[in-house]
A = this chain, B = another copy of it.
Amino acid sequence: MDDTGIFLHSVETLRLQVDRRLVELIPLPGKEPGRLGEAAHYALLAPGKRFRPLLTLLAAEAFGVSPSRALDTACAMEMIHAASLVLDDLPSMDDARLRRGRPTTHRVYGEAAAILASVGLLTRAFGAIAGDAGLQADTRIALVETLADAVGFEGLVAGQALDLAERARRRTVAELDELNHRKTGVLMMCAAEAGARIGGASEEARRELGEFARRIGLAFQIRDDLIDVQEGGEHIGKDVGKDAGMTTVVSALGPRAARAAIETHLVAADAALARAGCDGRLGVFARSLFLGRKAAA
């Protein structure tokens, strides 16, 4: 195994730790009424890259703290992400049939159970951070507060509302960047900053980690749109061509300029990481995400 192989192997170990801890943090299926626990497991433990929790773990590590100390916070990021996907997919929103290669949660468990599972996961995210006795009370408070900001009326919730509200309108690339930032970037920033906070990073270094994650998020969204244009649904595990009526960076710029935009974001991400003055494994991880062919779940 070469260096990159060893590195990816160790990231895979972290990913498995996240999945094991996620199972522990939510109720066992069958214990809850209305297949609620089952729906929550289905939504949360679907195959995925666990990109946000890995950002948290690797950001903590970048500042010299064991990833295990950031594990519950990392899991909280994945819970929020899973909860947001369930809601985005609802009939009243994107009305999606496939997600992460499987039927969407509401198609399997019904709308009511899907919504309740989503709210349960969202709530559990805050509870898991607040209940993490391994972190100082001050740290936990700051994490809850920044996570609430990332999710709420200025964060993911606003991003989804913006997306639904102006879907028919032709957007500029700047507007698309803003939309993509609110829809996904804001939680990636939160995940990276949370890890940096647990790692004891300075406020400035935390901000740079946030900028790093923001750029990675934007690059990733463009990559997602590229794949959406170019490939079939079975390759990426979610509905393809649903964006056909919408403007994306790819449809606005064309595939070639879109690829260049990805590279611009990745270079800016590297620069932010360098300014943060932390260990470079996080950068290698981020780059590695762009080596494969499959899109983000």
Complex CA distance for A129 and B140, rounded to whole angstroms: 12
Q: Which of B93, B116, B138, B148 is close to A123, meaning CB atoms less than 8 Å apart?
A: B148
Complex CA distance for A126 and B152, rounded to whole angstroms: 10
A34 within 8 A of B: yes
Instruction: Give chain A interface residues in 208-229, CB to chain B under 8 Å.
Output: none
Q: Closest residue of chain B to A140, judged by CB?
A: B141
A176 within 8 A of B: no
A194 CB to closest chain B CB (Å) equals 13
Copies in the assembly, this chain: 2
Q: Do B161 and A32 touch across chains, with their CB atoms under 8 A apart?
A: yes
In the complex, identify which listed stretch (A59-67, A107-115, A252-260, A288-296) lies at the interface while the others stay far away. A107-115
Instruction: Give chain A interface residues in 100-124, CB to chain B under 8 Å.
Output: 110-113, 115-116, 118-120, 122-124
Complex CA distance for A158 and B152, rounded to whole angstroms: 23
On chain B, the residues within 8 Å of A37 by CB distance are: 153
Q: Do B119 and A161 touch across chains, with their CB atoms under 8 A apart?
A: no
Q: Which 8 A-B pairs have the closest CB atoms?
A: A127-B148, A34-B165, A92-B111, A34-B161, A33-B162, A137-B137, A130-B144, A123-B152
On chain B, the residues within 8 Å of A126 by CB distance are: 126, 144, 148
The number of residues on chain A lying at the interface, defined by a beta carbon within 8 Å of a beta carbon of chain B, is 51
On chain B, the residues within 8 Å of A164 by CB distance are: 34, 112
Q: Do B153 and A124 touch across chains, with their CB atoms under 8 A apart?
A: yes
Q: Do B165 and A148 touch across chains, with their CB atoms under 8 A apart?
A: no
Q: Which of B122, B158, B165 is close to A122, meaning CB atoms less than 8 Å apart?
A: B122
Complex CA distance for A130 and B113, rounded to whole angstroms: 28
A151 within 8 A of B: yes
Q: Closest residue of chain B to A138, judged by CB?
A: B137
Return the CB mask of A15-41 against B: 1 if under 8 Å, else 0: 000000000001100001111110010
Q: Closest residue of chain B to A91, judged by CB?
A: B111
A243 within 8 A of B: no
A117 CB to closest chain B CB (Å) equals 8
With A153-B36, A164-B112 as contacts: A87 and B144 at CB distance below 8 Å: no
Q: Do B152 and A120 touch across chains, with their CB atoms under 8 A apart?
A: yes
With A33-B162, A148-B126, A164-B34 as contacts: A119 and B116 at CB distance below 8 Å: no
Q: Do A127 and B115 touch across chains, with their CB atoms under 8 A apart?
A: no
